[in-house]
Amino acid sequence: MKKVLVVAPHRDDETLGCGGTILRHLDEGDQVYWLICTTLNEAVGFSKERIRIRNEEIERVDDAFGFNGFKQFDFPTTCLDQIPNNQIVESISEYLNEIQADTLYLPYRNDVHSDHANVFDASISCTKSFRYPFVRRVRVYETLSETEFSMRTDDPGFKPNLWIDISSFLDRKIEIMKIYKSELAEHPFPRSIESISALAKLRGATAGFHFAEAFMSIKETL
């Protein structure tokens, strides 16, 4: 049995990036924990109603997946680059040590949203074998509307080397994604049902599956 921690900069990144894989882990009897690194608050311009709806969505998604544990930090969304890195590292380290996860799923370092880069950097600091010997696998996921929009000239691009068959779980992934009503729109919006399905079909075709999610495996300790 694996103990999995899915680290999401924002709520919905976990479903977009590895929702099918989460469902597969749970179906196979693994323990899966969900960490959201940011939150909405009025200080950065969000209304009480928007915050209330967001919190309700998070509760519904937590129930829909059936996570073994869930935690959300109070760092304000879109502002992680203003938070000292050591504070983010300490927060992730504390939760990681609490659950002793052996498998981590992280956002891609070069996603266009700066929060994703800050979460990746802080999380990677918590994978050193001499301090976190229980971490055996680190996998990086792609996030629609973030990964493919990176325009950095020094970015080699998201190059997967691990494909996980989610053919039996894509429909359920999409149903869970629909809980985030404000994040979905009609095609050609990047976070449309058509786009989610198309990416899963493309990744599946690469690996000989009907549908798949792709990852960059940057640590696999046997």
Q: Cα separation of 178 and 182, whole Å? A: 9
Q: Cα separation of 22 and 169, whole Å? A: 9
pLDDT tens-place string over residues 74-113: 999 999 999 999 999 999 999 999 999 999 999 999 999 9
DSSP three-state, residue 194: helix
Taking residues 59-75, report their average pLDDT. Answer: 97
Report whether pLDDT(23) > 80: yes
Structure pTM? 0.96
DSSP three-state, residue 31: strand
In total, the chain counts a number of residues equal to: 222
Average pLDDT, the chain: 96
Report whether pLDDT(56) > 80: yes
- Within 8 A by CB and 6+ apart from 144, the residues are 16, 190, 191, 195, 196, 199
**Which residue is associated with the tokens 């640590």?**
219
By the 8 A CB rule, do 106 and 116 touch? no
**Which residue is associated with the tokens 């599946």?**
204
